[in-house]
């Protein structure tokens, strides 16, 4: 018998559906800017970070692999949207920064999706959106905790009754 809570499964399926639709809509809305949703995601992560980020830190924040983010960052550098800077904390992991063109691209993407953002806020309301953000952050925390526990060395793993 399957004891998985139906609500958790429904939440996961709703997140998958929303994510797929967000990526698809994002691709359509930023296509005229010669961007993709994935590129825009990386540019936005850089724009809203208070400090420059490494590829690994972008990947962790976005829940993607470092290799996938590295490919995107390399393409964004070729397009002149990001630049690499030396990282005083780590010789090999360079810091990724937005160029002026990269900042303009993020602003253009945000302007392109602003009407949909406003429609979402108007339809759902700011309080429910804040609740959804809180719920999704809690969901990520639980998943991360469980995966971190699973990936820990076997000598420090908790048993099934923990």
Look at residue 10 and tell me whether its pLDDT is greater than 70.
Answer: yes
Give whole-number Cα distances, 51 to 34, 58, 76, 83, 98, in Å: 26, 11, 18, 14, 11
pLDDT at 98 over 50: yes
Tokens of 57: 């830190």
Specify the pTM. 0.80
Q: Strand runs (DSSP E) across the chain, as ranges?
A: 53-54, 82-85, 95-98
CATH class of the domain comprising 28-150: mainly alpha
**Domain ranges in the chain?**
28-150
Backbone angles phi, psi at 117, to 5 degrees: -55, -45
pLDDT in tens, 22-75: 999 999 999 999 999 999 999 999 999 999 999 999 998 888 899 999 999 999
- Give me the sign of the Cα torsion angle 147, 128, 15, 59: negative
Q: Do 45 and 61 touch, CB atoms closer than 8 A?
A: yes
């Amino acid at each position: 018998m399957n004891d998985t809570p139906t609500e958790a499964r429904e939440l996961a399926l709703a997140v998958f559906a929303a994510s797929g639709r967000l990526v698809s809509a994002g691709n359509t809305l930023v296509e005229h800017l010669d961007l993709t949703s994935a590129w825009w995601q990386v540019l936005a992560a850089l724009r809203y970070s208070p400090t420059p980020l490494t590829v690994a830190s972008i990947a962790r924040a976005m829940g993607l692999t470092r290799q996938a983010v590295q490919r995107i960052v390399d393409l964004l550098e070729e397009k002149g949207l990001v630049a690499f800077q030396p990282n005083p904390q780590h010789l090999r992991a360079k810091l990724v920064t937005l160029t002026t063109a990269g900042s303009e691209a993020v602003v253009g993407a945000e302007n392109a999706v602003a009407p949909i953002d406003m429609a979402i806020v108007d339809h759902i309301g700011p309080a429910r959106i804040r609740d959804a953000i809180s719920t999704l952050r809690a969901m990520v925390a639980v998943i991360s905790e469980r995966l971190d526990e699973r990936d820990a060395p076997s000598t420090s793993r908790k048993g099934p009754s923990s």
